Amino acid sequence: MSRRPLVREVPPTSWYFRHPLYLRYMSREITCIFVAAYCVLLVVGLQRLSSGPAAWEAFLLGLRSADSIVFHLLALAASVYHAATWFGATHKAMPIQIGEDFVQPNVISGAHYVVWVVLSFVILYLAGVF
């Protein structure tokens, strides 16, 4: 008797609907689009700044538009989700072993949150908010 195994194809585009975990993964991947778009916006801002005061003022005016504010809110939400899910996973990529025990995951993710808050305040300070 010869073998005739049945191979089942995985749908290339709709596989992520098969499990809630896959959907959560894809939702995190999609946040990268907003993170990348915001990086492009920063580069455009730098280019405008180097083009003189008039260009810079026009850029700032554009930032105050309703579309821009909606984009910034979406980008902020996406970035926070991206960061929070990454912090939650860092103990997998960077476990810390002390003697025979490993540092608890919430300590590692908690340290990331502390550094995030401190760095955010440093940036706000440098930007002259305080």
Partner 1 sequence: MTQMKERLVQLEVLRYNPDTDTEAHFQRYEVTCYEEWVVLDALNKVKADIDPTLNFRWSCHMAVCGSCGMMINGEPKLSCHTFLRDYEGVIRVEPLAHFPIERDLVTAPDDFMEKLKRVKPYIIPKEKKPISEGEYKQTPAQLMKFRQYSMCINCMLCYAACPEYGLSPSFIGPAALTMAHRYNQDSRDGGRMERQEVVATHEGVWECTFVGACSEACPAHVDPASALQQMKITSSIDWIVEHLIPGGKK
Task: Please identify, using beta-carbon distances, which residue of 60 and 96 lies nearer to partner 1.
Answer: 96
User: Does 129 help bind partner 1 (rule: CB under 8 A)?
Assistant: no
Among 52, 53, 99, 128, binds partner 1 (CB under 8 A): 99
**Interface mask (CB under 8 A) for partner 1, residues 24-63, using x and -?**
-x---x----------------------------------
Find the shortest distance in angstroms from Cβ 23 to partner 1. 11
Binding of residue 14 to partner 1 (CB under 8 A):
no
Q: Tell me the closest approach of the beta carbon of residue 91 to partner 1, in angstroms.
A: 8
Cα 90 from Cα 112, distance rounded (Å):
9
Query: From the CB of 119, what's the least distance to partner 1, in Å?
Result: 22
Largest Cα separation within the chain, whole Å, is: 81
Report the 10 Å Cβ neighbour count for 86.
Answer: 13
Task: Tell me how crowded residue 43 is: count the other CB atoms within 10 A of its CB.
Answer: 10
Residues in the chain: 130
Residues 6+ apart with CB under 8 A from 81: 27, 28, 31
Handedness of CA 72, 78, 81, 86 (dihedral sign): negative
Residue numbers of the site for partner 1 (CB under 8 A)?
1, 3-8, 10, 12, 15-16, 18-19, 21-22, 25, 29, 89, 91-95, 97, 99-102
